[in-house]
Amino acid sequence: NAGVTQTPKFRILKIGQSMTLQCTQDMNHNYMYWYRQDPGMGLKLIYYSVGAGITDKGEVPNGYNVSRSTTEDFPLRLELAAPSQTSVYFCASSLRLAVGETQYFGPGTRLLVL
């Protein structure tokens, strides 16, 4: 049971480039999330999904897109990278949707936009 896995671990992008951050979970969780964590700060919700084909915006969705074609995968797309998107990105999953439900996090993807 690998839990939540993310690739890549680290990436440098030039301004205007695009990339997809991959996230996969093997716990058969319906609910998946993308967060970003800026240096010295907490985690902010970008997007979340309640199941295959259903996604919704979180607190900071601008500049990102998501899709959910399977239960296991929840990729995050950056179309036109900007320096403000330099951050660490965490994917998470949970069995149920609520603040009081346990979330399982991946190891993160560190992104630097120059």
- Integer Cα distance of 61 and 66 in angstroms: 10
Hey, what are 18's tokens? 């695009």
The answer to whether 39 contacts other proteins (rule: CB under 8 A) is no
- Integer Cα distance of 101 and 114 in angstroms: 37
Burial class of residue 107, CB neighbours in 10 A (0-12, 13-18, 19+) = middle
The answer to whether 104 contacts other proteins (rule: CB under 8 A) is yes
Please, which of residues 43-82 interact with other proteins by CB under 8 A?
43-45, 48, 56, 58-59
* 8 Å CB contact between 76 and 46: yes
Which CB, 63 or 107, lies closer to other proteins? 107
The answer to whether 101 contacts other proteins (rule: CB under 8 A) is yes
The answer to whether 23 contacts other proteins (rule: CB under 8 A) is no
Residues engaged in binding other proteins (CB under 8 A): 4, 33, 35, 40-45, 48, 56, 58-59, 90, 92, 96-108
